[in-house]
Amino acid sequence: MPVLILARHAKAEDDGPTDAERTLDAKGLAQAVEAGAEIAERWSPDVAIASAARRTVQTGQAVVEAVNAHHGDSAETGLRLRLDESLYQGGVEDWLDAIRSIPTGSRCAYIVGHQPAVAEVIGRLCPGFGVPESFRPSSIAVFDLPDWDVEPGAYPQPQLRYFHGV
């Protein structure tokens, strides 16, 4: 059974040269490392996609590095982070396109982006669960799927998890 993990980037600095260039703050870096370790151990994604904004790249890279360390892989031979420009300031349809791009043989995929889009995607995938009222930085929604052919609107209820970065 494949697993889909949708994530909001870890806590970022309030300011940067541009919004896209904002970086993770100290707490966010700790959250990203904590999330990466747990995601690597529990689900070990074989696909990782991130918005091209710096804070999502940093969050996603922490997951990729943890997965590669867990498997003893190098950056050259292991999991790589794929950047998706459309996830930065993109909407639900952009996220659904990213989900559709996951190869059918994948065991687990991780996609990291921004609010409010990620919460809206959760609500679209599983209308019975709805849009989470609070999807804080460094939150994930984990969907256990029967296969990758599940249509939006028919996803099972996700498990939500928040990483504190302590």
Domains and CATH numbers, the chain: 3-161 (3.40.50.1240)
Residue 166 has pLDDT above 80, yes or no: no
Confidence of residue 27 (pLDDT cuts 50, 70, 90): very high
143 bridge partner residues: 4
The H-or-E segment that residue 161 falls in is strand 159-162
The pTM assigned to this predicted structure is 0.97
Confidence of residue 165 (pLDDT cuts 50, 70, 90): confident
Query: Virtual CA dihedral for 7, 12, 15, 19, nearest 10 degrees?
Result: -20
Smallest CA-to-CA distance from 132 within 121, 145, 143, 142 is with: 121
Instruction: Lay out the sheet containing 139-144: strands in order across.
Output: 81-84, 47-51, 108-113, 3-8, 139-144, 159-162
* pLDDT, tens digit (0-9, with 9 covering 90-100), for 84-103: 999 999 999 999 999 999 99
